[in-house]
Amino acid sequence: MTGALSRAAPPADRARVADSLAAFAGWLRSVGYTSYDQYDFWATTYGIWSKGLYYRYGRLAAPLVLPLLAVDWLVPSSRRWVCLPKRFAIADAHYLMGFLALYRATREPTHLSAASALADALLASSIPGYTGHCWGYPFDWQTKRGLWKRNTPLVTTTPYVFDAFVELYQTSGDRHHLELARSIAEFVANDIHDTAVGDGWAASYTPFDTSQVVNASAYRAACMAEAAHLSNADRYHRLAAGNVRFVLDQQRPDGAWPYSADDPSDQFVDHFHTCFVIQGLYRAYRVLGDRAILDAVQRGYAYYRQRLFSADGRPRPFAEADHRQFRVLELYDHAEALELALLLRPDVCTDALVVSMVTQLLNLQTAQGHFVTRISSGGIRNLVPYHRWAQAQAFCALSRYYEQLRPAAGVISIARSPLGRCRVPSSRDS
């Protein structure tokens, strides 16, 4: 948890932030914790088949995937005809941490109760058969590295649940949550594999692959570093240091990180994966204390600010203009940009940037309470609210910001604010 925002930078209006969070909480109560997802079409039988052929044959198979791309772009709500809403561990973890932040800010018992209920749901959805608790996706996922079946544990999901249980322990003092976090750390340490690369080692994405995805190693490094801090285990410390070394070695001279170190076709640089890498490194630095890590974070953040933001100050989805740049705005980018700014302040970024990210996020809120998911070229909007991509992340980041807005006197309760009375910008204002 970071400290309160400096008085030197004018914060976003506290009442507006409170109203925004109240509106979102009201929407969340009305819809529950299941939702459609960004990957819905690609998790269908046809989606898995066509995507697999595309990864195998490239442009020759493009006609097979173009229909799904088109319908997802033009009519995203049509996914309700081909799938059912699902519950996602990564979303539950972010909602849990968001409610904990609100509890710390307001001392409203309802927020702690919401967090505790989410913890129970997460524990119930843990995947059995491994050395510790772990989580993945509730759908089959076709990747370049093969088909990963539903409930395959992922190193990009499980560490968020680790963070959630650590925060729940720190907030409630219940050691049961600490023991659950330690169980998760055992999975991350034992079931995620290492591949030697140079002086470090790359962490696998699942217990069944040997990929060299850079953000996966950053997640592993942060989780192991935090686990070492909790238990003073040398083994966790060594794993964190080895994964950090791999991530540092993959940094380009300009400060950027490619998505993957072992696949020439995965050398793109995008916004939210860059956020994941910098976040993981900085969190590892706070435990390991190696100045080289902070130097890499600062160089990476300089690139990030220069190449992954548009001239108007909005997060830009990709660093280089290519066929993916038709996305003009991505909620995931906004949520992770705010999360990263809160984490790095004041060592690397300024309060002014935090306030800018908050204001932009507030301007993406719809009259229903959730946030705009995506805006594509031509002004085409995706207003389908995916919990995993990235309503939960946006709520968590905004709740953390609200927690840091320490008022001089009084506490604003947002637990039961009527949705109709909240001052929420229309989605047209985005």
Range of the domain at 341: 1-32+327-430
Position 416 pLDDT exceeds 50? no
The predicted-structure confidence for 47-85, as pLDDT tens digits, reads as follows 999 999 999 999 999 999 999 999 999 999 999 999 999
What average pLDDT score do residues 365-377 get?
Answer: 95
Separation between Cα atoms, residue 165 and residue 123, nearest integer Å:
10
373 occurs within a structural domain: yes
Would you place residue 2 in the very low, low, confident or very high pLDDT band (cuts 50, 70, 90)? very low
Could you tell me what percent of the chain has a pLDDT over 90?
82
Record the tokens describing residue 46, joined without a space: 């046809």
What average pLDDT score do residues 32-54 get?
Answer: 97
123 occurs within a structural domain: no
Position 43 pLDDT exceeds 50? yes
What average pLDDT score do residues 410-416 get?
Answer: 41
427 occurs within a structural domain: yes
**Total structural domains within the chain:** 1
Position 403 pLDDT exceeds 80? yes
| Contacts made by residues 116-120, CB under 8 angstroms, sequence distance 24+ | 116/168, 116/172, 118/33, 118/92, 118/93, 118/164, 119/164, 119/165, 119/168, 119/177
Separation between Cα atoms, residue 198 and residue 248, nearest integer Å:
11
99 occurs within a structural domain: no
23 occurs within a structural domain: yes
The mean of the pLDDT values for the chain is: 90
∠ CA(15), CA(21), CA(26), 5° rounding? 125
The predicted-structure confidence for 80-113, as pLDDT tens digits, reads as follows 999 999 999 999 999 999 999 999 999 999 999 9
The predicted-structure confidence for 301-339, as pLDDT tens digits, reads as follows 999 999 999 988 999 999 975 545 577 899 999 999 999
410 occurs within a structural domain: yes
84 occurs within a structural domain: no
E strands, 185-326, in order: 194-197, 200-203
25 occurs within a structural domain: yes
